[in-house]
Chain A
Amino acid sequence: MTIAITLVVLSFICLIFLIRLAAGQYVSPTACDDPAERIHFVDTESFRNLIDPAEADYLRTQLSPHEFRTIQRERLRAAIEYVRCAAKNAALLLKVAEAARHSSEPATAAAAEKLVDNAIRLRLYAFQMIPRLYLAILFPTRGFATMRVADRYEQMTRQVVLLGVKFPVSGNP
């Protein structure tokens, strides 16, 4: 009986989720009136510094092991915030680019296509990188991660500028 009740309750929750999703289809377009207002500032240079292994090695030589672990954990927490912001920005830009994809101008449509591709890749890297960064917080003395998120973010910013969308870049809070 327990399995049957659990399945009925779960399917009811799924049904509500689907109905809310269907209702959201007609609500979400207005939620993105001005993407520029919802974009988070991401300083890619600082982010690169936070995940740079050479920088971590330098700190390791300069600090005691305990201090290094504390500082490195703080740096990694900050890096996670950067990655989250970049992923959120990518999701917003994806919406902008989706609309531009249907532009009658081939150049705009092509730029939008590239932006969509980059935004998707950035989110993919971000989802892969966040668990790695959390793992690195647990073991701060071990090496980790990749620069791909930073590279992809910079590439995406250039494409946004090409697309002519207002977007905060490094040094523009």
Chain B
Amino acid sequence: MPFLELLWRTLWFLGVGLHGLLTFVAIRRGCQRVFPVFVCYTSWVTVEGVVLLYMDYTPSVSGNQYFVAYILGLVICSAARFAIVYEIFKHLLNRYPALSKSGTGLFRLVTVALLVLVILLAKFSPPGGHDPLMSTVFALETTIDIVQVGLLLFVFVFSGVFGLSWRSHVFGIALGLGIFGTVSLSTSAIRAQLQPIAPNQMTNITSVIDQGTYVICALIWLAYLLATERPPQTPKPRPPKHDLGAWNQELQRFLHR
């Protein structure tokens, strides 16, 4: 077995194991009450990983059967990741009711803009490779990743512009998802470009990168879940010099209104 394939398989086992551990820790910590979609996602990734591993090592399972299971998993995972991004955003806005309406509106607007962008990209990208089905899968992967990364960037930029504070668990989930999305976008863009008919050195490299990112994301999520939530830091103002004057002026302004 070539080194890259061995590494990829090792990372695959490790990724499934870590997602299983992550699901266990998340449920033990009661995350399903706050982030139900995220816990469903990690559970699904674990189950899907175990099923795909079993299918991969069972000689009676055909390549087509494996492909169908893989596509099903891809579609469910992608939908779940979109739902997680929305869950993160809603969780962020819950603490700021003033932004709820405009924030949700902007989120929808950005989603529509990203969808228009990916449709345009699909229209202007060169025609597919040898296998139309695989070309569609690669294009679908890239499209999903573009929209997902775009939405996550919007969430980060939106919170930065308004100076919103993140709870560390939410930030951890968003960070892991962001890292996964950006790396997956690179590898899916490369795969979509090369359109390999059979596994080769490049597909092995992209698979190792993908599996490695899975492992890193699971570790990031585990670290943030196991860490205790830090309360916002209280600024320590120096002894005030003009507080009395400010109080007095404000009181006068208030009385004269």
Instruction: Decide whether A and B assemble into one complex.
Output: yes
A residues with CB within 8 A of B: 1, 3-4, 7-8, 10-12, 14-15, 17-19, 21-22, 25, 29-30, 32-36, 90-91, 94-96, 98-102, 116-117, 119-121, 123-124, 127, 154, 157-158, 161, 165-172
Given A3-B193, A8-B190, A123-B162, 16 more A-B residue pairs with CB atoms under 8 Å apart are A1-B193, A4-B190, A7-B146, A11-B182, A11-B183, A11-B186, A18-B156, A18-B175, A25-B168, A95-B232, A117-B97, A120-B99, A157-B250, A161-B250, A166-B240, A168-B246
**How far does the alpha carbon of A30 sit from the alpha carbon of B232 in the complex, in Å?**
11
Cross-chain pairs A/B with CB under 8 angstroms, 11 sampled: A1-B193, A18-B156, A18-B175, A18-B182, A22-B171, A29-B232, A33-B235, A124-B98, A166-B241, A166-B242, A172-B246
Given contacts A7-B146, A7-B189, contact A32 B249 (CB under 8 A): no
Residues of chain A contacted by B186 (CB below 8 angstroms): 7-8, 11-12
For B166, B232, B236, which residue has the most chain A Cβ atoms within 10 angstroms? B232
Q: Does B2 contact A (CB under 8 A)?
A: no
Q: Does B200 contact A (CB under 8 A)?
A: no
A4–B192 touching, CB < 8 Å: yes
**How far does the alpha carbon of A94 sit from the alpha carbon of B95 in the complex, in Å?**
12
A121–B246 touching, CB < 8 Å: no
Q: Does B253 contact A (CB under 8 A)?
A: yes
B246–A127 touching, CB < 8 Å: no
A11–B235 touching, CB < 8 Å: no
Secondary structure class of chain A's binding surface, majority of residues: helix
Residues of chain B contacted by A127 (CB below 8 angstroms): 161
A158–B254 touching, CB < 8 Å: yes
Given contacts A12-B186, A172-B249, contact A116 B231 (CB under 8 A): no
B232–A167 touching, CB < 8 Å: no
Chain A residue at minimum C-beta to C-beta distance from B121 = A3
Give the number of residue pairs across the A-B interface with Cβ within 8 Å: 135
**How far does the alpha carbon of A158 sit from the alpha carbon of B249 in the complex, in Å?**
10
**How far does the alpha carbon of A158 sit from the alpha carbon of B185 in the complex, in Å?**
48
A34–B237 touching, CB < 8 Å: yes
Residues of chain A contacted by B190 (CB below 8 angstroms): 4, 8
What 6 A-B pairs come out closest when comparing CB atoms?
A: A29-B233, A4-B193, A7-B189, A91-B163, A99-B234, A11-B185
**How far does the alpha carbon of A75 sit from the alpha carbon of B102 in the complex, in Å?**
30
Chain A residue at minimum C-beta to C-beta distance from B238 = A34
Our pick among A19, A94, A165, A166 for the contact of B163 (Cβ within 8 Å) is A94
B152: shortest Cβ distance to chain A, in Å?
Answer: 8
Question: Quick one: which of B165-198 are within 8 Å of A by CB?
Answer: 165-166, 168, 171, 175, 178-179, 182-183, 185-186, 189-190, 192-193
**How far does the alpha carbon of A99 sit from the alpha carbon of B192 in the complex, in Å?**
47
Q: Does B51 contact A (CB under 8 A)?
A: no
Our pick among A14, A116, A169 for the contact of B178 (Cβ within 8 Å) is A14
Q: Does B67 contact A (CB under 8 A)?
A: no
B168: shortest Cβ distance to chain A, in Å?
Answer: 7
Residues of chain A contacted by B237 (CB below 8 angstroms): 34-36, 165-166
B232–A120 touching, CB < 8 Å: no
Residues of chain A contacted by B124 (CB below 8 angstroms): 3
Question: Quick one: which of B79-115 are within 8 Å of A by CB?
Answer: 96-99, 102
